[in-house]
């Protein structure tokens, strides 16, 4: 799966499921600040990612993520490694 496909799917998830304004989502934007999710929302995000991509993200996967691009790269690596 291409990174662009991952970005498009995640943008849809962020906007539709978490009501994040699309203007807050850009590759260089701060991931945590841009989403503004609480801990329960992150659980929902992990579940949605597993449903959409068939991969499981764990807490350790989120530690090095600073930007949306970091998130996309992490997800791309997991998706393409399976």
Catalytic choice (38, 41, 61, 70) = 38
pTM of model > 0.85: yes
Tokens coding 67: 């930007």
The span from the CA of 38 to the CA of 6, in Å, is 22
61: annotated active-site residue: no
Produce one character per residue of 3-21: b if its CB has 16 or more CB atoms within 10 Å, e if not: eeebbebbeebbeeeeebe
Q: What is the pLDDT of residues 29-50, one digit of tens each?
A: 999 999 999 989 999 999 999 9
Q: What is the pLDDT of residues 10-24, one digit of tens each?
A: 999 999 999 999 999
């Amino acid at each position: 799966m291409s990174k662009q496909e991952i970005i498009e799917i995640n943008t849809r998830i962020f906007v539709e499921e978490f009501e994040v304004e699309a203007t807050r989502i850009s590759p260089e934007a701060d991931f945590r600040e841009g989403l503004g999710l609480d801990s329960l929302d992150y659980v929902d995000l992990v579940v949605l990612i597993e449903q959409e991509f068939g991969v499981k993200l764990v807490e350790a996967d989120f530690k090095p993520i600073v930007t949306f691009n970091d998130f996309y790269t992490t997800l791309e690596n997991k998706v393409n490694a399976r």
